[in-house]
């Protein structure tokens, strides 16, 4: 059976590159976003070039009916064995200068939709004992104070959730990866009203290079891939430090510095 990959946010940017790279690897595709015309043009191009089947699914994932169409595909069709959660929106400026409703709809797409589709895929793929889920987070997951707090915290959720579900799915032979891009040249900035020209060019990666690196990380078996990070020990040291906290985090007695009259002095 030829495996089918569902790629959300495939009408532009990182998702469109994932669709192309997965088509090149011989996967059939379901490409999902709102812009039907762009999806159909992509589907025609990729099916013509690679001889694969591509379904263009126009859906607003922020709406329950749009999201449920993707959920139903994941759960019902055994051919769907790869999910790339790429649909997302960026932010402009800090929380104090943002409309609360805009922040909430960003969380709906970047967090709730990704969570729902990952759970659907996890349960379906685990029962079939095969499959892969790729979640696009961001490096701001590791430095949420440096960007819009809601966006950064949402991406921190994606990272933590992906690491946790990867551990849960490992015994079932289902692969899970979180990808943490830095600035990547896409439409995200223009859509959010941010001037990409104000960002130093040496900090911006091409979407093609970013996705190729992320797929190389996937092929190497990484759960977390940070395409810009040359010295991978920086990441493994952070993970080791996190693991070394574990035995100290839940104990019967408070730490001595919190005892009445105690403290650092």
Ligand X SMILES: NC(=O)c1ccc[n+]([C@@H]2O[C@H](COP(=O)([O-])OP(=O)(O)OC[C@H]3O[C@@H](n4cnc5c(N)ncnc54)[C@H](OP(=O)(O)O)[C@@H]3O)[C@@H](O)[C@H]2O)c1
Residues found near ligand X in the complex (CB under 6 A)? 9-15, 33-35, 60-62, 86-90, 109-110, 136, 138, 181, 183-184, 186-188, 191
**165 CB contacts (<8 Å, ≥6 apart)?**
118, 122, 133, 176
Written as six digits, the tokens of 21 are 């790279």
Active-site position among 2, 18, 50, 155: 155
How many residues comprise the chain?
Answer: 265
Query: Nearest distance from residue 255's CB to ligand X, in Å?
Result: 37
Query: Nearest distance from residue 258's CB to ligand X, in Å?
Result: 38
Active-site position among 18, 50, 92, 151: 151
Is-catalytic flag, 92? no
Is-catalytic flag, 155? yes
Written as six digits, the tokens of 245 are 């906290």
Residue whose CB is less far from ligand X, 22 or 87: 87
Query: Nearest distance from residue 70's CB to ligand X, in Å?
Result: 9
Residue whose CB is less far from ligand X, 51 or 201: 201
Q: What is the DSSP string of 3-72?
A: -EEEEETTTSHHHHHHHHHHHHTT-EEEEEES-HHHHHHHHHHHHHHH---EEEEE--TTSHHHHHHHHH
Q: Kindly give the pairing relationship between strand 175-179 and strand 54-58.
A: unpaired
Query: Nearest distance from residue 43's CB to ligand X, in Å?
Result: 13
Residue whose CB is less far from ligand X, 118 or 138: 138
Q: Which residues are catalytic?
A: 151, 155
């Amino acid at each position: 059976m030829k495996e089918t990959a569902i790629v959300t946010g495939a009408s532009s940017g990182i998702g469109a590159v994932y669709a192309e790279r997965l088509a090149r690897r011989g996967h059939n595709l379901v490409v999902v976003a709102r812009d039907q015309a762009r999806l159909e043009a992509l589907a025609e191009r990729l099916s013509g070039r690679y001889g694969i089947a591509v379904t263009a699914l126009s859906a607003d994932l922020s709406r329950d009916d749009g999201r449920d169409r993707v959920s139903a595909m994941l759960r019902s069709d055994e051919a769907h064995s790869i999910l790339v959660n790429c649909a997302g929106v960026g932010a402009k400026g800090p929380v104090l200068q943002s409309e609360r409703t805009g922040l909430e709809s960003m969380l709906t797409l970047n967090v709730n939709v990704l969570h729902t589709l990952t759970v659907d895929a996890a349960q379906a793929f685990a029962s079939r004992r095969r499959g892969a889920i790729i979640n696009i987070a961001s490096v701001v997951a590791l430095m949420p104070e440096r960007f819009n707090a809601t966006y950064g915290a949402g991406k921190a959720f994606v990272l933590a959730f992906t690491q946790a579900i990867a551990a849960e799915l490992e015994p079932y032979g289902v692969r899970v990866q979180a990808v943490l891009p830095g600035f990547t040249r896409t439409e995200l900035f223009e859509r959010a009203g941010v001037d990409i020209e104000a960002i130093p060019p040496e900090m911006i990666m091409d979407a093609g290079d970013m996705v190729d690196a992320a797929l190389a990380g996937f092929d190497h078996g990484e759960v977390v891939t940070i395409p810009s990070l040359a010295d991978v020990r920086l990441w493994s040291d952070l993970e080791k430090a996190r693991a070394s906290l574990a035995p100290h985090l839940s104990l019967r007695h408070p730490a001595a510095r919190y005892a009445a009259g105690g403290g650092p002095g």
